[in-house]
Structure 1
């Protein structure tokens, strides 16, 4: 029933759109709304790229133009501003998704403001940014809205693009957005599946019949699919996420290749040279135009290139259908399906061009006219090829009768030659017998060598089994050590008891880890620490066991609450227990880098001390950064150095982050570099408004994309640990 409701809603929006009245009605989000089209509840205006948003919020409503048509503006040289009022009327919390279903916009910025409030949330989007910077991983531009009930909001959009600007927009509930995404991708899968089947089918026929027309038929199909997948956003999402600039070349290049290949196919399929030199000249002209357009795609302005490409595509479609009609009237009977195919495609391409230019409204029919025309063109051209093959087969049958007589004459000649050849083969057979005996002698020697090799292989296999058993024992020991190490780590429930809004992202490089986290809670204080011991694997795990034991002694037994003093004592114990036990060149250099946070529950005060590692915090969208001291635990002189205690008074909701250096040091990305401290801080600032568990998921997803970008996979180089928690006064 939900799908039927959506279809009826879309049909009514296309046939009888609702226009804006004197006052802009709000988009009312109530319990019954799953998805809502908002094209006709918008005000807009155009400027010269210099309007400041803070001034815009206070601008009177009559400064905007009421939208009285579908939001299809065609090619614009100015910046477009849109204003959309939203009223949230749902009785419970509900996530919403705001979608702009045009993936070919260069730049757009979405602002969400609450009525009567100065603060706002904004998102920067557009195909000029790398795909992985999007908030929602989707081919269209989607941003999440978290709205309070019975509250008036305003959504502002700032848009500029060198492509045609049409802005089909909807607001979805989370369930409706998932349903829409799955249904939409299923339809695209059917479309691309049909194209793939037709391409493979005609390629198989080409390899079977060796008819060049089937190969030439495949080339414009491939060009068309490249353009459509770029137009729909799938190219950018799946093929070149790290190369936003490539998006500006794919479309024009695909159009120019389509013009060239479709004209070449027409020349070959209709045998144009045999019927009309004028039609032949027109098609050669289209091939030349396509070649010039291909070169201009790299040299010209993108907006000019796309406008010329749209017009050239329409002209080419008209030339092709006109050529088919003329050749059919000249007596080429298998041109009938060719004409019908290009009639459908011409209708689709003209509708697509007029929509891109802003002449016709953008709706579900006009946006998909090109896909429908392409499908009909492909199927009808396949029929045209089959029709042509039928005419050729009839001619072939007439020729076969004359060939049978010639074959009889050839058979008699062949029999005579066979007899002569048989006598020659008898002589060759005698020579072959002599060489066969020599080969048998050599085979005996080879058998003897094989017996020797089999004995050697048996010895190698025994050694392999012995090594495998030893490896299994070693691995079992390390796995048991992993269980011991996990047992000393604090439970998630204990940490969330002290810090209800928190997450821990913990990814050991090996089975056991040199990174570990530590937690302790008292009625007055809550302790949380992220520790990076020297090395990783088994050596690091041993250090983590020592560090966990010493922290219990200092905090629990000695009742120390000052983080700087905790680090001083830990530094002292590490130097006493490890470094002074061995003198001279054999002295141990092991230690640890760590962040220690202590939360005073009564005074809402967070104290921090760090050994090399910093504390990050975000309060009211302001990013704070406190550096740790420059000495690792175990390397500081206990007589002359003390670790510094820093204080952060919590007067408003604040997000805190502590981490080891494994995440920032991970290699990957488009040019195989480290993530680095700056990008890590940018990530925290970007995701800090999400719930803590979603922040952890976002960090992990970015890490996976960073390690697997550009078609290659980088190995994890170190243990990874990130802890985030949210505190309120």
Structure 2
């Protein structure tokens, strides 16, 4: 009895003695508070040897948590242990509320989230930079975790952080609408920052074209590297560039800083012309090159912890060396260097503040968090202003050179005019001599004129004969010119036709690759069905028929779809790509597994895409949807103009699809679902009308649905691979009987499903 009383006493007293101090630190949530910072309500514990598990940490007997007691966000310097944090929350409203818990610090290797209600773990997520991005509960560059509380309900949130870098845990709770508002402003701000830096890059490249000054072409390189670094810190690079590669997502942070130092070193070499400036400036520039190359190598081959420590240590001396280069250049008479000095002074100021914030020596404020971005935002325009001033100096020098050239041209003109006067006098004397000689020549000319008349008479006769020959030659030349012009015109048209044909074929081949990428892979079918086949034969390079398969693991269902878009070739293929996208949204995103509901959603999506008069849509799309419920052991089917044929116990059954086209002008539609219980292994077949409509055979007729059903029943007991080969052989034999061409896209699928 005493033992029982002791246990009761301990059960009542210990919770109050352990957590009595915490009761006043519960974070209360209500509709009136759209967002709350949890810093002053957080308790923390540092597990230096990583020995404790969550069960131990969350135990009521564990009393080693320490209150943070600060409005600044939880932060620690570099460490190798596990950092635990907890915060107690309570919904003060009298109705159900949903909240988002945000940890707004992306560079954490591992972050575990635990939600405990009534001493039971109800939610748990493991995420972080060392975990694939797909593991995050909400798609966002920061860490977001949903929390739902009933009226007046309490809960405890635990975090476990393990990282090789600086530990920061800024925890905020938002109502969903408030977070959407805050996040949109955040993204727009970073978009503006990116836009400004991108605009400077473009202007710099454009200015390079007339000036051919390499500093303009190099200027965008460090800017691009800084953009990568900024968005690696915010988590955007992990979200958009390397969601499946945590190693690359971590490596890009120190690597982008190393590439930024390399780009700035190259820019200094060409902008300040350090080679000509002085030996000290050149060697200082080489020092920057050496630092950047060393950090590039360490960023690739060392651990993230070592690499980030190294770039943090080297960034400050590198920046100071760059500022020193600007001072040397200014002392050597380069006026534009004052903008360069201003840019690096502002940047170093922002860098020092950011390092102080990152290491925990400065308070966690909006300015300290974004000091580096502010530094970049001021540094880039100032450096571009320096480049612009350099171009202005270049134009002044060019104008001075042109002025000197014009002066030289004026002096040369005066000298030339004096020489012209001198030459004119000499020519007048020569003219007098020529006149005397001309009189002598006139006498000789009279004698020659008599002889010339005789020659002229003979020449006239020859001219008459020559004129006749010229007329004949002219006619022949005109005929040859017409023939040559026609030949040239044909060659031009042939070349244009070849270009158009090649361009069209390239586009079709590219569309084929896109369509193959969208269609499910064989490995997807192998995972979902033990025995299956797909006969897929486009009439042209690309097809209007397509098939689709997916699995809903939560409901333990498999969805198999065959679709026939209106037309074939490019129009049909375009519709098949749109259809695949809509199916992904309906089934994978909306989680709809009812065949009839899938068809209705598909119909509404196609109708919203375009009107019935649109030439692309024409009659719309036919589709058959088969859903295998593995838990309930049944198959559900619905279709529009697409039948389902299946064989059970050596008997063939057929279910017709509703007489209705997806995308037609029907507003209200009803589609019937058919349920098929699985009592034994059954074979199911979905197909478009391309197989049955093929002409050929002895009498050049269609294969027909009847003949196709007979063929299915005859082959149904054989393995699907054997059936696949038999269907292809029959189709080719029927088509080639009268040398018929394939008239439509062909799709025929078969799967075997066990009870």
TM class by shorter chain equals 0.5 to 0.7
Change (3 A) 1:357 1:504: farther
Q: Indicate if the aligned counterparts of 1:512 and 1:541 stay in contact, CA closer than 8 A.
A: no
| Distance (Å, rounded) in 1 between the aligned partners of 2:212 and 2:567 | 64
1:588 — aligned with what?
713
Of the candidates 61, 81, 84, which is equivalent to residue 81 of structure 1? 84
Distance verdict in 2 for CA 1:360–1:539, change over 3 Å: same
Tell me the residue number matched to 1:623: none
2: CA distance between counterparts of 1:437 and 1:409?
A: 60
Residues 373-384 of structure 1 mapped to structure 2, 5 A cutoff: 373-384=375-386
**C-alpha spacing 1:246/1:437, structure 2 compared with 1 (3 Å):** farther
**Does the 8 Å CA contact 2:114/2:121 hold for their aligned counterparts?**
no
1:284 counterpart = 2:394: no
Q: 2 CA distance for matches of 1:140 and 1:239?
A: 15
- What is the alpha-carbon distance in structure 2 between the residues aligned to residue 94 and residue 75 of structure 1? 37
Partner residue in 1 for 2:334? 332
Matching residue of 1:395: 397
Q: Give, in whole Å, the separation in 2 of the partners of 1:308 and 1:584.
A: 72
List runs of 5+ in structure 2 lacking aligned partners: 1-19, 416-475, 497-539, 546-563, 569-590, 603-619, 658-674, 686-705, 724-746
In 2, Cα distance between equivalents of 1:308 and 1:718: 59
> What's the counterpart of residue 605 of structure 1?
none
Aligned residue in 1 for 2:303 = 301
Q: Partners of 1:202 and 1:717 in 2: how far apart? A: 57
Deviations 1:15-74 (A, max 9, x none): xxxxx9876611110121111111121111111222111121125564012213431213
Alignment match, 2:694: none
Please, which runs of 5 or more residues in structure 1 have no aligned partner? 1-19, 414-433, 455-466, 479-500, 520-526, 551-562, 575-580, 593-630, 636-715, 721-729
1:44 is matched with 44
Question: Deviation digits for residues 461-491 of structure 1, max 9, x if unmatched?
Answer: xxxxxx9xxx99x96799xxxxxxxxxxxxx
Post-superposition CA distance 1:408-455 (Å, at most 9, x none): 799999xxxxxxxxxxxxxxxxxxxx999966531234557999999x
Contact (CA 8 Å) 1:282, 1:319: kept in 2 or not? yes
Map residues 211-222 of structure 1 onto 2, 5 A cutoff.
Answer: 211-222=213-224
Answer yes or no: is the 8 Å Cα contact 1:334–1:387 preserved in 2. Answer: yes
Task: Tell me how far apart the structure 1 counterparts of residues 642 and 709 of structure 2 sit (CA, whole Å).
Answer: 21
CA contact (8 A) 1:24 1:85 kept: no
Of the three residues 218, 225, 228, the one matched with 2:227 is: 225
Contact 1:256 1:309 survives alignment (8 Å)? yes
Q: Which residue of 2 aligns with 1:621?
A: none
CA deviation after TM superposition for structure 1 residue 402, in Å: 1.5
Q: TM-score, normalised on structure 1?
A: 0.60
Query: Over residues 322-358 of structure 1, what are the superposed CA-to-partner deviations in whole Å (9 max), with x where a residue is unaligned?
Result: 2222332332221111111111111122222222233
Question: Per the alignment, do residues 547 and 164 of structure 1 end up closer, same or farther by CA in structure 2, a change over 3 Å counting?
Answer: farther
Q: 1:590 to 1:530 in 2, by over 3 A?
A: farther
Shift of 1:207: 1.5
Partner in structure 2 of residue 422 of structure 1: none
Matches within 5 A, 1:691-706: none
Q: Flag the 1:569–1:452 CA change in 2: closer, same or farther, 3 A.
A: closer
Change (3 A) 1:177 1:504: farther
For 2:324 and 2:310, the matched residues in 1 are separated by 21
- 1:164 is aligned to 166
CA 1:288/1:450 → structure 2, altered by over 3 Å: closer, same or farther? closer
Corresponding residue pairs, total: 498
Shift of 1:232: 1.4
* Alignment partner, residue 123 of structure 1: 125
Partner SS, residue 40 of structure 2 = coil
**Contact 2:342/2:382 (8 A) holds in 1:** yes
More contact order relative to length (CA 8 Å, sep ≥ 6): 1
Instruction: Evaluate the alpha carbon distance shift between residue 333 and residue 518 of structure 1 in structure 2; reply closer, same or farther with a 3 A threshold.
Output: closer
Does structure 2 retain, via aligned residues, the 8 Å contact 1:514–1:543? no
What does residue range 370-519 of structure 1 map to in structure 2 within 5 Å?
A: 370-406=372-408, 440-445=482-487, 504=594, 511-516=621-626
TM-aligned CA deviation for residue 126 of structure 1:
0.8
Partner of residue 248, structure 1: 250
**Of 91, 99, 103, the match for 1:100:** 103
Residues 592 and 598 in structure 2, CA contact (< 8 A), matched pair in contact too? no
CA separation of 1:136/1:279 partners in 2, compared to 1, >3 Å: closer, same or farther? same
Q: 1:299 to 1:588 in 2, by over 3 A?
A: same
Residue 566 of structure 2 contacts residue 621 of structure 2 at CA under 8 Å; is this kept in 1? no
| 1:525-674 paired onto structure 2 within 5 Å | 529-531=634-636, 540-541=643-644, 546=653, 567-568=678-679, 586=711, 588=713
Q: What is the match of residue 55 of structure 1?
A: 56
TM-aligned CA deviation for residue 293 of structure 1: 1.0
Structure 1 equivalent of residue 30 of structure 2: 30
Aligned position for 1:67: 68
SS at match of 2:242: coil
2:258 & 2:362 partners in 1: Cα distance? Answer: 24
The corresponding residue for 2:134 is: 132
Q: CA-to-partner distance for each residue in 1:692-717, whole Å, 9 max, x for gaps? A: xxxxxxxxxxxxxxxxxxxxxxxx99
- Could you say which residue in structure 2 is the equivalent of 1:361? 363
Aligned partners of 1:137 and 1:412: how far apart in 2? 80
Residue 269 of structure 1 is matched in structure 2 by 271
Q: Which residue of 2 aligns with 1:147?
A: 149
Q: How far off is 1:398 after superposition?
A: 2.1
Distance, in Å, in 2 between the alignment partners of 1:200 and 1:222 is 11
- Structure 1 or 2, whichever has the larger Rg, is 2
Q: Secondary structure at the match of 1:119?
A: strand
Matched residue, 2:440: none
Query: Using the alignment, how far apart are the partners of 2:182 and 2:491 within structure 1?
Result: 68
**Contact (CA 8 Å) 2:291, 2:318: kept in 1 or not?**
no
Preserved CA contact (<8 Å) 2:339 2:382 = yes
Show the counterpart of 2:212: 210
Partner Cα separation in structure 2 for residue 717 and residue 64 of structure 1: 64
| Partners of 1:453 and 1:267 in 2: CA distance | 49
Report the RMSD for the aligned CA atoms in angstroms: 4.6
* Alpha-carbon spacing, 1:26–1:451, altered in 2? closer, same or farther (3 Å): closer
Compared CA separation, residues 717 and 160, structure 1 to 2 (3 A): farther
Deviation, 1:360, is: 2.4
Paired residue for 1:91? 94
Give the conservation status (yes or no) of the 8 Å contact 1:515–1:530. no
* Cα distance per residue 1:167-209 (max 9 Å; x no partner): 2221010101111121111111111111111111111111222
Q: Secondary structure at the match of 2:154?
A: strand
